[in-house]
Amino acid sequence: MQPLGKEKNTYDGEHREPDKPLPQASRAHDVPTGSALAARGEPFLWGLGGALTLGISMIVGFIILILWNGLITFYPKPVCMATLKNSRIIAGEPTRSELYRVADEQMESLDPDVQDEIRANQGFASRTLYRTGNYDLYNEDFRWVSDFEVQSASMPPDIFFVERLEWGPFIGFIHSVRLRSQELKGESLELGSLYSEHLKAVRRRQDVRRIERSEIGAVNHKMEKERLALRRVALRHGEQSDAFQEAQARYQERVRALQAEYEQLHSEAESIKQNDAQYQVTLVDVSGREKTILLSDIVRFYPANALSTFQKLGVYVSRWLEFLTQEPREANTEGGVMPAIFGTFVMTVLMAIAVAPFGVMAALYLREYAKQGRLVSIIRICVNNLAGVPSIVYGVFGLGFFAYIVGASIDELFFRERLPSPTFGTGGLLWAALTLALLTVPVVIVATEEALAAVPQSMREGSLACGASKWQTIRHIVLPKAMPGIMTGLILAMARGAGEVAPLMLIGVVKLAPELPIDGFFPYLHLERSFMHLGFHIYDVGFQSRNSEAAKPMVFVTTLLLISLIAVMNAVAIYARNRLKRKYYVGHF
């Protein structure tokens, strides 16, 4: 028998002293020094790190690309006037430059010195893309100009960049301005007074717009309401009934009053238009071609090469304000995207309101009430598979079920007087939101189930042991504890739904809907109307525009806006989730 404290200590069958350190190879978390790299796992570690670095680099690069191209889109650029060797003159904003291979046919028409220079560059030459504007004069917005074609270039301080309501920008000079019977040109044309007159012209244009869209629109709405009321009586009692005759007499009387109001408003608008027609500006391009337009048809104008930094920032801010608050124009390549912002935001909020209760209730039943077995497992598999169904399939289902079945039934029950024109029996804001709710509900169900499963069983047992019912336990213990996880699922659903485009193309989104689905008439928010969406706007501008070069800046800036809108909505949801997490954080027992 060995003395106490002198016990035999063995390691791989060998004796050693108790205080002697273990050999290097005996540590559980280490590998012998001479082993291969694969045994140590270092190649796998390098692969993981490389994949993470690559993913982060791609995300950061994408964000930088969108930020850079989106933020500089509205910054005013100088206008270059180039005199070509063939005596033609062009003027425009230099957009970008590139190297290109000169075709053999073009080489034969060039001077020998130019040919030698191109051959020295291995057949490549440099060219610049100019945004020339003046589409109504040139039938093009952009033009490539090779460097060897340019004889001289200058930056004239008196050349103007004029943004118009129609035909895009005009690049040239202001020849004259007619203010009623007064004509200003040359030295009598002061830029400060011209800006002042332009502000007055913009107010006249806004007055006409207010009268035609708001006031005359209200009169037309009342006329339509009276017509529908008369048709409702006809459908209910018949056109030969006394009730219909009385309703028709009231209808004719009210329509006469409304028609008189319409004529008065129309005359007021025409008077403003006639007065506005006396304020005109004559523009001339660098080749001497003139164009006369109304002063009110100009959105903004500025001397492109004579702006100070502060003035450039003023133009930059005014363009952003127009982009965020106005409606599109020029086939969505100019103007603003306010209808698309409103449609995207409202549709996403409605989708979240619809998907949250159904997703949470389904997950609660599957996790807390349903008897776990084969049927519940099959349901979970189906829910997971629904998350992988192509989104266009949901669009077809939404159009067929919500619009053609549910919407048509609503029209037949409540809007018979409007038929055959559908009210809810076609694509609209409500059906689009419900379709995307179906698309994202699997995400909410899965996230909610995981959040419920993460709540310790001891908390449920403690609540039940204190006398609480199962529902009281779920309501006061389980749901508050799982709420951060539920909010995570809702955030993921919002992020996916806000960026979906394919289903919306079938179920309500349109290329142009300048009027917001909100007005001063009950029910104020008209969910049955078509709407614009930022995602579809990007697709339309980028791939359906007549000029891809003119649409490219709008694609970047709209993408930046869509990402920012989703980030803001997600940030609000994340803030609410973190508040709930801090509020209901308790230890396990």
- Write out the DSSP string of 259-304: HHHHHHHHHHHHHHHHHHTTEEEEEE-TTS-EEEEEGGGEEEEEET
Give the DSSP H/E element, type plus range, for residue 234: helix 216-237
Query: Rounded to whole angstroms, how far apart are CA atoms 84 and 147?
Result: 9
For residue 156, the one-letter residue type is: P
pLDDT at position 131 is 93
- Look at the domain 80-165 and name its fold: SH3 type barrels. (2.30.30)
Of 472, 507, 290, nearest to 395 (Cα)? 507
**CB within 8 A of 114, min separation 6: which ones?**
148
Question: What's the mean pLDDT in 449-470?
Answer: 89
Residue 48 pLDDT exceeds 70 = yes
- Report which secondary-structure segment, H or E, holds 188: none
pLDDT confidence of residue 584:
66
Residue-wise pLDDT for 543-559, tens only, equals 877 777 878 888 999 99
Closest CA to 399 of 370, 425, 360: 425
pLDDT band at 566 (very low <50, low <70, confident <90, very high): confident
- Contact predicate 261/248, CB 8 Å: no
DSSP bridge pairs for 412: none
Q: Which residue has the higher pLDDT, 41 or 514?
A: 514
Other CB atoms within 10 A of residue 252 CB: 11
Q: What is the CATH number of domain 342-583?
A: 1.10.3720.10
**CA-CA-CA-CA torsion sign (430, 489, 383, 476):** negative
In this model, does residue 312 exceed pLDDT 70?
A: yes
Q: Is there a contact between 425 and 411 (Cβ–Cβ < 8 Å)?
A: yes
Contact 11, 26 (CB under 8 A): yes
The model's pTM is 0.85
| Gap between the Cα atoms of 483 and 468, Å rounded | 20
Per-residue pLDDT for 567 more than 90? no
- As a whole number, mean pLDDT of residues 35-62 equals 81
Q: Helices (H), strands (E): how many in the chain?
A: 20, 15
**Which of 550, 138, 515 shows the shortest CA–CA distance to 330?**
550
> What is the structure's pLDDT at 34?
54
- pLDDT of 91 reads 93
Output the average pLDDT for the chain: 86
Does residue 432 register a pLDDT over 90? yes
pLDDT tens digit string along 288-308?
999 999 999 999 999 999 999
Q: Tell me, what's the pLDDT at 27? A: 47
Return the C-alpha torsion angle 452, 454, 458, 463, nearest 10.
-30
Rounded distance between C-alpha atoms, residue 138 and residue 125, angstroms: 25
Q: Are 295 and 197 in contact (CB under 8 A)?
A: yes
pLDDT-derived band at 249, boundaries 50, 70, 90: very high
What is the DSSP code (8-state) at residue 57?
Answer: H
The pLDDT, as a whole number, for residue 26 is: 45
Amino acid (one-letter) located at 135: Y
How far apart, in whole angstroms, are the C-alpha atoms of residue 20 and residue 2? 19
- The values of phi and psi at residue 328, to 5°, are -70, 160
Residue pointed to by tokens 């993408």: 559
Top pLDDT among 39 and 185 is at: 185
Closest CA to 427 of 513, 368, 508: 508
CA 512 to chain centre: 14
Kindly tell me if the per-residue pLDDT of 173 is higher than 90: yes
Average pLDDT of the segment spanning 387-392: 87
Q: How far is CA 59 from CA 26, 64, 139, 255, 555, in A?
A: 43, 9, 39, 60, 18
Q: Which residues contact 316 (CB under 8 A, 6 or more apart)?
A: 74, 75, 76
Task: Report pLDDT for 111.
Answer: 85
- Rounded Cα distance between 206 and 208, Å, is 5
Q: What is the C-alpha separation between 153 and 316, in angstroms, rounded?
A: 26
Contacts for 368 with CB less than 8 Å, ≥ 6 apart: 452, 470, 474, 478
Euclidean distance between CA atoms 510 and 536, whole angstroms: 8
522 vs 193, 517, 519, 525, CA distance in Å? Answer: 45, 12, 8, 8
Q: Which residues of 279-300 are buried (b: 16+ CB within 10 A; e: fewer)?
A: bbbbbbbbeeeebebbbbbbbb
With b for 16 or more beta-carbon neighbours within 10 A and e for fewer, the 137-169 pattern comes to beeebbeebbebbbeeeeebeebbbbbbbebbb
pLDDT at 164: 93
The H or E element spanning position 325 is helix 309-325
Domain positions in the chain:
80-165, 174-312, 342-583
Residues 558-569 have a mean pLDDT of 89
Q: What is the pLDDT of residue 525?
A: 86
Calculate mean pLDDT across residues 419-447. 91
Token pair of 541 as six digits:
């501008």
> Is residue 19 very low, low, confident or very high in pLDDT (cuts 50, 70, 90)?
low
Task: Return the pLDDT at 394.
Answer: 92
Query: Tell me, what's the pLDDT at 299?
Result: 94
Average pLDDT over residues 69-90: 91
